[in-house]
Amino acid sequence: MRWLDIVRMRLRSLFQRDSVEHELDEELRFHLDLQVQQNIAAGMKPAEARYAALRQFGHPTQRQEECRDARGTRMIEDFFEDLRYALRGLRRDRFLAFAATATLAICIGANTTVFSMADSILIRPLPYPGANHIDWISERSGPVQEDIATAPDYYRVREQNHIFEDVAAFMPSTANRTGVERPEQLDVASVSASFFRVMGTEPLVGRYLAREEEGTKAPLVAVLSYAFWRNRLGSDPHIVGKAIALDRRPHIIVGVMPQGFDFPRGTQIWMPLHMDEASERPIRANTMFRILDIVARRRPHVTPQQADTEMRRLTFAIRADYPKVFASRGFRSDLSIGATPLQQHLTGQLRPALMMLSGAVGLVLLIACVNLANLLLARAGSRQRELAVRLALGSGRGRVIRQVLTESLVLALPGGLAGIAIAWIAVRALNAAKPSILVAYPAIAMDPRVLAFTAALTLATAILFGMAPALSAAGTSIQEVLKSAGRTHSIGRSAARVRKLLVVAELGVSLVLLIGAGLLARSFLALAHTETGFRTDHLLTFRATQVGSTSLEGRARFYLKLLDEVKQIPLARSAALLSDMPFQDTYDRAGRVQVVGHEPIPFLQRPRADNTVVSPEFFQTLEVPLRSGRVFDDRDSENPPPWW
Amino acid sequence: MSKPTDLVQGTLDLLILKTLALGPMHGWAIAQRIQQLSEEVLQVQQGSLYPALHRLEQQGWIRAEWGESDNNRRAKYYSLTRAGHRQLEHETDSWERLSAAISAIVRA
């Protein structure tokens, strides 16, 4: 086994260095002694014989060096030698070691934290099979990308089967679980039967919706999320076929999805989407569209760009089918359907923020590198003598560069390790606190990729801040330095120039960072001082959905009774009903406004006004100040004013 | 008589392998042997023998063992491994091809 022999030998040269060296000595001495004896036997005097033997042999020290080179482990041995030397040097210079470790720990920690965020949110693929083939289909128009889709869109996109294998529509909503001791509101999603095929995920237990389980006649069935099945139903293995009451109607459970399937995020139960193709497909002049979300799975060979282009083409086709309707409703001319990869859609808002954050921490690390390079250069000034002596004794310049770089690696390594520790703590804190901007995203994890990133970063850092001192060391002029022996001397002119350049670069980068941070802080302060128009302290909110009665009176009675009961709670000062929370996206409730008596405007060109339905106590409860006039009260609810 | 010819680059390995094919021996003996067999034409610069020996050992073609020499001193004996035998055949082949080619040119 030739390679086994080789490995054994390399290991021996590395780890039993003393005995290997001793053997080398003994071997060469043996040879010289034999040669001396032979020379004496040939008639030389002992001293002469020894001299002749040495001449025949060549310089023994040099030969020894060549033998060491032949071992093939020279680089590693040198490295360990440099390592020992660097450690000894740092023990003498504790301030430098401490400054470098602390600076790098913070900077590398920050970079690792931001990278693990970017990795978890932007890079790591969604946990669905073939997730990079899932597209989000939506309408966009104008500068505000409204990102919604409608039922007519769904029926048209579904026909594009040369691009998509499957197209699914879904609507997130809530449902009340009834028929149990403590009813609760659940997050549900009504989905078309193709939904699970698009997401490419098989159920853990039972089945998902069958092809015919959609449309107006779809049976009342339900697919459960893993979390709901485990936490609320005790992981009942015989759950399939049992019924669960949702909004007082029994739904037959047909399947349970596996752990990790969480789309749309937070969904506890999926059920069939009841849609009527005959009435919802056509685009008519005066009906409202159903607003829903669409996802589609691209065919294997179709790229995201192709899908997007095809969707734009489809928009023109639809428009050509209904020229009158489009004209009378006043669709914007730039309205178009588009396809975006699902991951990009889900992370779209966070992407620029994360990029900016990565840039900022990267710059901070750069500043740290420049600082350390400066510190090392200052130190190199006092070490020039030592380096000159090494060069004079025959050390190669490449060898000196390697030695200085090893030193900077020794400086960077503890910083990198401490950085990982800091990032670990930061990631845990972020996951625990879950700032609102991260709620919609999976937990941040530090995986092997993050650790590899940090290792590479540490190495790059070491090379970066070690480069300046290494090059200045290699440029040491032996003569000049040794001539100035005994005198204290300043560092060379070139090194001084490098240091000046470093300071300029550092100032520049710091300025960029400071300006960026200043602007951010100003925006934050401005945001924090924005007038909300109401008092946010001492305000509690909760959601309630009434089920059962569908008559307007019945629902009004329910909510008024609920309001009365909340007002009875001793700790409550006042309470109000409202259809939507302040600042909540109420796109689908926004109304188009036409001022009475003005020239009629096509429907979609009318200005839009968000509206929220509230009870009279709203203004008092949120302490909304009244500028003039009065707020409405019970008088206003019965009969609309005559001009309506 | 002219000066002993310097060894052609890279042929030292071949000479060492060939010499060791006769049986295990230590460095000094190898140097003597090469000199004798070449009838003093080839003068091995004795010191350069050792880096070559160590390199061949690192490549797994020869193996070293410590043993007793004739004058009862500890000496390092080298011997050919199985891989070394194969390498020797290989190097002999290429040497014969090379020298045949060169002599053909020189005689032409």
Domain boundaries, chain A: 2-72, 99-122+350-528, 142-334, 552-638
* B75 closest CB neighbour out of A5, A30, A62: A30
Residue tagged 């703590």 (tokens) = A425
- For residue B47, the distance in angstroms to the closest alpha carbon of chain A comes to 4
Strand partners, B66: B76
Average predicted confidence (pLDDT) for chain A = 83
The span from the CA of A98 to the CA of A267, in Å, is 50
**Cβ neighbours of A27 in B, within 8 Å:** 27, 50, 75-76
- Put simply, the answer to whether A67 touches B54 (Cβ < 8 Å) is yes
Q: Is the pLDDT of residue A318 over 50?
A: yes
- Give the model confidence (pLDDT) of A282-309 as tens digits: 887 777 778 899 999 999 999 999 999 9
pLDDT at residue A167 is higher than 90: yes
Between these two residues, A243 and A66, which has the higher pLDDT value? A243
Min Cα distance B60 → chain A (Å) is 5
Which residue in B6, B32, B33, B50 has the most chain A C-beta atoms within 10 A of its own C-beta, making it the best mutation to test that interface? B50
Is the pLDDT confidence value at A369 over 80?
A: yes
Q: Higher pLDDT residue, A398 or A488?
A: A398
Residue A188 pLDDT greater than 90, yes or no? yes
B4 has a chain A CB within 8 A of its CB: no
Pick the residue of B46, B56, B87 with the most A CBs within 10 A to test the interface with A by mutation. Answer: B46
Tell me if B45 and A30 make a contact (CB, 8 A cut-off): no
| Token pair in block for residue A451 | 């650790």
**pLDDT level of residue A211 (50, 70, 90 thresholds):** confident
Q: Which of B46, B55, B60 sits opposite A70 (nearest CB)?
A: B55
Q: Which regions in chain B score pLDDT beneath 70?
A: 1-10, 43
Residue A331: pLDDT band (50, 70, 90) is low
Topology of B11-107 in CATH?
Arc Repressor Mutant, subunit A (1.10.10)
**DSSP secondary-structure letter at A13?**
H
Tell me the chain A residues in contact with residue B26 when contact means C-beta distances shorter than 8 Å. Answer: 30-31
What integer pLDDT is reported at residue A332 of this predicted model?
Answer: 66
Mutation for testing the B interface, residue in A4, A5, A74 having most B CBs under 10 Å: A5
User: Rounded to an integer, what distance in angstroms lies between the CA atom of residue A576 and that of residue A161?
Assistant: 50
Q: Could you tell me the pTM of the whole model? A: 0.63
Q: Which of B27, B52, B55 sits opposite A31 (nearest CB)?
A: B27
Q: Residues near A528 by Cβ (< 8 Å), separated by ≥ 6?
A: none
CA distance A546 to B35: 108
Could you tell me which chain B residue has the CA closest to the CA of A37? B71
- In the numeric block, the tokens 């028929």 are attached to A179
Which residues is B4 bridged to in the sheet? none
**Position A343 pLDDT exceeds 60:** yes
Closest-approach residue (CA) in chain A for B28: A31
Closest Cα in chain B to A62: B47
pLDDT confidence band for A644 (50 / 70 / 90)? very low
A257: pLDDT strictly greater than 90? yes
Pick from A7-11, A139-143, A263-267: least confident: A139-143
Confirm if A193 and A214 have CB atoms less than 8 A apart.
yes
**Chain A residue with Cα closest to B27:** A31
pLDDT higher than 60, residue A489 = no
In B, minimum Cα distance to A31 occurs at B28
pLDDT bin (cut points 50, 70, 90) of residue A626 is: confident
Out of A109-113, A229-233, A379-383, pick the least confident.
A379-383
| Interface contact A5-B60, CB threshold 8 A | yes
In this prediction, residue A254 carries a pLDDT of 92
DSSP assigned state of B38: T
Q: What's the confidence (pLDDT) of residue A452? A: 92
**A30·B58 Cβ contact <8 A:** no
Looking at chain A, the whole-number percentage of residues with pLDDT higher than 90 is: 20
Interface residues of chain A, partner chain B, Cβ below 8 Å: 2-3, 5-6, 9-10, 23, 26-28, 30-31, 33-35, 56-60, 62-63, 66-67, 69-72
- Write down the pLDDT at residue B93: 92
Lowest mean pLDDT among A86-90, A408-412, A488-492, A593-597: A488-492
What per-residue confidence (pLDDT) applies to B67? 87
Q: What is the mean pLDDT of residues A531-541?
A: 84
Which of B27, B46, B63 lies closest to A27 in CB terms? B27
Least reliable range by pLDDT among A58-67, A150-159, A199-208, A414-423: A58-67
Distance CA A27, CA B103 (A): 39
B51 closest CB neighbour out of A9, A60, A67: A67
For A372, the token pair is 């350390």
The whole-number pLDDT of residue A613 equals: 81
Alpha-carbon gap, residue A424 to A446, rounded angstroms: 7
Q: Rounded to a whole number, what is the distance in Å from the CA of B82 to chain A's nearest CA? A: 9
Tell if the CB–CB gap between B60 and A58 is shorter than 8 Å: no
Using CA coordinates, name the residue in chain B closest to A7.
Answer: B58
Model confidence pLDDT, tens digit, residues A407-444: 888 888 999 999 999 999 999 998 888 777 777 777 88
- Least CB–CB distance from A58: residue in B27, B47, B57: B47
Q: Does the beta-carbon distance from B60 to A2 stay under 8 Å?
A: yes
Residue B81 to residue A5, Cβ atoms within 8 A: yes
The confidence score (pLDDT) of residue A420 equals 93
Question: What is the reported pLDDT for A306?
Answer: 93
Residue A338, Cα to own-chain centre: how many angstroms?
25
| Backbone angle region of A100, left / alpha / beta, with phi > 0 → left and psi within -120 to 50 → alpha | alpha
Are B77 and B64 in contact by the 8 Å Cβ rule? The answer is yes
> Per the omega criterion (within 30 degrees of 0), is the bond before A264 cis?
yes
Contact of B99 with chain A, judged by CB distance below 8 Å, is answered with: no
Confidence of residue A1 (pLDDT cuts 50, 70, 90): low
The yes-or-no verdict on residue A548 having pLDDT over 70 is: no
Tell me the pLDDT tens digit for each residue of A434-481.
777 777 777 888 888 899 999 999 999 888 888 877 777 777 777 777
Question: If you search the block for the tokens 């076929």, which residue do you land on?
Answer: A241
Closest chain A CA to residue B71: A34
Say if the Cβ atoms of B58 and A9 lie within 8 Å: yes
Is A78 within 8 Å of A398 (Cβ atoms)? no
- What percent of chain A is modeled with pLDDT above 70? 93
Residues A45-65 have a mean pLDDT of: 85
B10 touches A at CB < 8 Å: no
C-alpha dist (Å) from residue B53 to A8, B60, B80: 17, 11, 11
